[in-house]
Amino acid sequence: MVKDKILKELKGKQNSALAKHLSGFFKTDKGEYGEGDLFWGLTVPMQRIIAKKYSAEAVLSDISALLKNKVHEVRLTALLILVDKYSKADTIAKEKIAKFYFANTKYINNWDLVDLTAPSIAGDFWFNNSKKFMLDFAKSGELWKERISVVATYYFIKRGEFTEILKLAKHFLTHKHDLMHKAAGWMLREVGKKDLFVLRDFLDKYHKIMPRTMLRYSIEKMSDAERKKYMKK
């Protein structure tokens, strides 16, 4: 089966030193957001090559099995295959893949797994269909679903649509997790690249109550003078 070939190829590229580094980088210790996640020590470019190699051959049952694997890189490779298949699918197939993605979010359980997939699948699907489930994800109280809702708006932002991220950024102003502050700030920064006036308007209203991390991320590309102005609370 193709899933066995993918596993064999991934396992053959293990790097123990990189695996140790990644385990720390993705916060896998007890009580941290990535608690218990296992790493083999593969780079993302390596995984992209393997994903491309097997994308046409893999079916959703293969991807489902790989997503249930405890090794981080196995899950990410499965998701990269899903992204590739989605990009080449027709409207009917895209809906099937998107529904599969949404049904398996419990395995999309670290920030890179979200960030490398949410715009391409969730963002595309929500932009071209109903946005209702984006709001459901935002209100779910589940960290990775919440992050998916925010990062998915990157697809919207690239097309000049800012309504959703402005609503979500406001919604998450009081969120307790730094990963949500980073995600919202990142997306706001992307808004600023497209339309600085929109970003300034949001900051003028909320910079005094924004979490510092969200604020720092959002103003990163601004001039020194503007950054200093907004950092003064």
> What are the pLDDT digits (tens) for 29-45?
988 899 999 999 999 99
pLDDT at residue 192, rounded to an integer: 98
Kindly state whether residue 111 falls inside one of the protein's structural domains: no
User: For a pLDDT cut of 90, what percent of the chain falls above it?
Assistant: 94
CA angle 224, 228, 229 (to 5 degrees): 115
* Band (116; pLDDT cuts 50, 70, 90): very high
Whether residues 181 and 86 share a domain: the answer is no
| Separation CA 121–CA 177 (nearest Å) | 24
Whether residues 195 and 169 share a domain: the answer is yes
| Separation CA 180–CA 173 (nearest Å) | 9
**Residue 203 belongs to what domain range?**
118-233
pLDDT at residue 232, rounded to an integer: 86
pLDDT tens readout for residues 179-206: 999 999 999 999 999 999 999 999 999 9
pLDDT of 113 over the 80 cut:
yes
Kindly state whether residue 60 falls inside one of the protein's structural domains: yes
Query: Running DSSP on this structure, what letter comes out for residue 148?
Result: H
Could you tell me what percentage of the chain is helix, strand and coil, using 3-state DSSP and rounding each to the nearest 5? Answer: 70, 0, 30
Domain boundary among 106, 128, 156: 106
Whether residues 129 and 95 share a domain: the answer is no
Whether residues 200 and 153 share a domain: the answer is yes
Among candidate residues 123, 125, 170, 188, the one with its CA nearest the CA of residue 149: 123
CA angle 33, 80, 102 (to 5 degrees): 65
Whether residues 61 and 167 share a domain: the answer is no
- The mean pLDDT value for 160-177 works out to 97
Whether residues 194 and 146 share a domain: the answer is yes
Longest dimension (CA), the chain: 58
**Helix or strand or coil: residue 205?**
helix
Q: What is the dihedral of CA 206, 212, 218, 219, to 10 degrees?
A: 100
pLDDT of 170 over the 70 cut:
yes
Kindly state whether residue 64 falls inside one of the protein's structural domains: yes
Looking up residue 144, the CATH number of its domain turns out to be 1.25.10.90
Kindly state whether residue 153 falls inside one of the protein's structural domains: yes
Which residues share a beta bridge with 38? 71
What token pair was written down for 179? Answer: 């990963």
What token pair was written down for 140? Answer: 């779910």
| Separation CA 41–CA 74 (nearest Å) | 11
Whether residues 129 and 68 share a domain: the answer is no
Domain boundary among 106, 128, 148: 106
Whether residues 129 and 83 share a domain: the answer is no
CA distances from 154 to 92, 119, 147, 169 (A): 23, 6, 12, 13
- The mean pLDDT value for 129-157 works out to 96
Whether residues 87 and 154 share a domain: the answer is no
pLDDT at residue 152, rounded to an integer: 98
Domain boundary among 106, 127, 162: 106
What token pair was written down for 124? Answer: 């595309």
pLDDT tens readout for residues 32-78: 899 999 999 999 999 999 999 999 999 999 999 999 999 999 999 99
Domains in the chain, number: 2
pLDDT of 162 over the 90 cut:
yes
**Structural contact between residues 187 and 151, judged by C-beta atoms closer than 8 angstroms:** yes
Whether residues 82 and 163 share a domain: the answer is no
Whether residues 126 and 230 share a domain: the answer is yes
Whether residues 86 and 129 share a domain: the answer is no
pLDDT of 233 over the 80 cut:
no
